[in-house]
Amino acid sequence: MTRFGGRRITTLLFDLDETLYQPETGLLKQIDRRIEGFLQKKLGMDKSAGAELRQKYYRQYGTTLRGLKEAHGVDPQEYCAYTYQLDVGKYLKPNPVLYEILMRIPAQKVVFSNSPRRHVYRVLQTLQIHQCFSKIFDIEFTNYLGKPHRLSYEMVMESLGVSGHECILLDDQPVNLEPARELGIITVLVGEEAKKNTTVDYKIEVVEEIAEVWADITGKELKKTGSDLL
């Protein structure tokens, strides 16, 4: 018997950065550097002060952008245009294995990210998994509240017309999974840090392991494809 008794799942929600690709790519670290560069330029800070403020606002508000918007009145469009102006192709490559796994899961798949839509789509295109997803819920969709603000999760579920008990959320940040679990969403922590966390429903090191999680939750193995039989 599965842990969730063969629960019916209609929707998988995926975080983007360092969930659909691994931290070793260095992409998110480059974005963090650009955020710190924006802080230096916009607020006249030196490098160390910019790094400290980025981390402070991330802890306090969930995103640096929300902190800058609320505390300094920074224009979110200006922030996003600067911090996400980079070539993701230098860091990522197509992931055909992930594409095949996602396409075999019989549920709608959406991205729920604190990044702007253009960045999300560039990453999905570069990984060549964009066809797997029906919708993107970005930071603008949530009026720049983002995760882990509970209202953001409620807005996404309302837009999709689903309840928490129909959903699975995969994210690399434990704090982003806490509101999801309160709403009845099955939580999956992705990444090496998952080993140290005990407050989530599932822990996996890489997103490709969603196949095993799906089987455990629903009681159904993913159907084999032609390539599996070669």
pLDDT category of residue 197 using cuts at 50, 70 and 90: low
What average pLDDT does this structure show over 43-60? 89
- Confidence check: pLDDT of 167 > 90: yes
Each domain of the chain, given as residue ranges in start order, spans: 11-23+92-229, 27-88
- Region 27-88: CATH code: 1.10.150.450
What topology is assigned to 11-23+92-229 in CATH?
A: Rossmann fold (3.40.50)
Alpha helices in 73-149 (DSSP H): 76-83, 96-104, 117-127
Question: What value does the mean pLDDT of the chain take?
Answer: 92
Contact 123, 21 (CB under 8 A): yes
Quote the pLDDT of residue 16. 98
- 105-148 pLDDT per residue, tens: 999 999 999 999 999 999 999 999 999 999 999 999 999 999 99
Phi, psi angles (nearest 5°) of residue 64: -65, -40
Quote the pLDDT of residue 1. 37
- 70-119 pLDDT per residue, tens: 889 999 999 999 999 999 999 999 999 999 999 999 999 999 999 999 99
Q: How far apart are CA 18 and CA 63, in angstroms?
A: 15
Report the interhelical angle of 150-160 vs 174-182 (nearest 10°).
60
Please, what's the b/e burial string for 120-136 (b: 16 or more CB within 10 A of its CB; e: otherwise)?
Answer: bbbbbebbebbebbeeb
* Cβ neighbours of residue 120 closer than 8 Å, sequence gap 6 or more: 16, 111, 113, 136, 138
- 28-41 pLDDT per residue, tens: 999 999 999 999 98
- Confidence check: pLDDT of 199 > 90: no
pTM for the model stands at 0.91
Quote the pLDDT of residue 47. 87
Quote the pLDDT of residue 229. 40
Q: Which long-range contacts (CB under 8 A, 24 or more apart) does 152-159 make?
A: 153/112, 153/179, 153/180, 153/183, 153/185, 154/183, 156/13, 156/110, 156/112, 157/183, 159/135
Contact 107, 10 (CB under 8 A): yes
